[in-house]
């Protein structure tokens, strides 16, 4: 096998085994989202008040695939591409030759809809940082925008940032919805320590956010 870039191979964002567990976990909890009633527009999704210091959740939006991810606190404006499953059943990470690109698991939830949408990106390459290099520094209350194909911008608020060790990884805990019926977002990359021998990271950084607003890009009719 040819030597692959740092952050790839065995560590492909999540290792193959972790990706497989993730897919299974997403299928399992995704079935629980089906049929969840959507609250009236402008009301909080999932019911209940917002956590202290954070805004109330916005009602989930109609379906529209993502086109770009904006994380102002990190200076990120990155194109989003759809990713499916590869021939061995793992989610395809973004291409290594495009380290500034974010991947969206198109078999899951579209950002802004009820449920949890999953966006993944590399932390680095052998030569330089990649799109999610600073992801672990995102703070609670920071804003994340997802520009969608219908011209709308789904605005999310970060509620927590966690590092999950690969050993004993629990996809339901990491990616399951925190509040049923709410539109949520997960940003995922590698974290922990890098094992040069195994060519893999020991953990994954997961940023959890939820929909708190929506706006239309100027000049766009939605």
Residue 46 has pLDDT above 80, yes or no: no
Count other Cβ atoms within 10 Å, centred on residue 151.
16
Residues 6+ apart with CB under 8 A from 179: 45, 46, 47, 48, 57, 210
Each residue's pLDDT tens digit, 131-147: 999 999 999 999 999 99
Between CA 96 and CA 6 the distance in angstroms is: 10
Query: Residue 101 in contact with residue 125, Cβ under 8 Å?
Result: no
β-strands 66-71, 200-216: how paired? unpaired
Q: What span, in angstroms and rounded, lies between the C-alpha atoms of 211 and 161?
A: 16
Most confident residue range from 42-51, 126-135, 196-205: 126-135
With 60 as the cut, is the pLDDT of residue 97 above it?
yes
**Mean confidence (pLDDT) of the chain:** 79
Architecture of domain 9-45+54-216: Beta Barrel (2.40)
Give just the sign of the alpha carbon dihedral 107, 111, 114, 115.
positive
Q: Which two tokens stand for residue 162?
A: 């966690």
Instruction: Assess whether pLDDT exceeds 80 at residue 174.
Output: yes
CA torsion angle 34 55 72 92 (round to 10): -20
């Amino acid at each position: 096998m040819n030597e692959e870039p740092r952050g790839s191979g065995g560590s492909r964002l999540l290792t193959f085994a972790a990706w497989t567990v993730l897919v299974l976990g997403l299928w399992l909890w995704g079935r629980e989202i089906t049929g969840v009633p959507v609250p009236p527009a402008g009301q909080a999704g999932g019911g209940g008040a917002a956590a202290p210091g954070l805004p109330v959740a916005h009602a989930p939006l109609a379906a529209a695939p993502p086109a770009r991810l904006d994380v102002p606190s990190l200076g990120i404006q990155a194109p989003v591409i759809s990713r499916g499953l590869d021939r061995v059943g793992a989610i395809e990470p973004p291409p290594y030759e495009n380290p500034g690109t974010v991947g969206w698991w198109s078999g899951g939830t579209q950002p802004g809809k009820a449920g949890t949408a999953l966006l993944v990106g590399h932390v680095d390459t052998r030569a330089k940082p990649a799109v999610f290099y600073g992801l672990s520094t995102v703070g609670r209350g920071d804003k994340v925008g997802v520009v969608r194909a219908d011209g709308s911008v789904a605005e999310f608020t970060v509620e927590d940032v966690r590092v999950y060790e690969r050993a004993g990884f629990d996809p339901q805990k990491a990616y399951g919805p925190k509040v049923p019926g709410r539109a949520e977002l997960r940003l995922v990359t590698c974290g922990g320590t890098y094992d040069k021998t195994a060519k893999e990271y020991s953990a994954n950084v997961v940023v959890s956010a939820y929909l708190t607003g929506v706006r239309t890009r100027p000049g766009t009719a939605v």
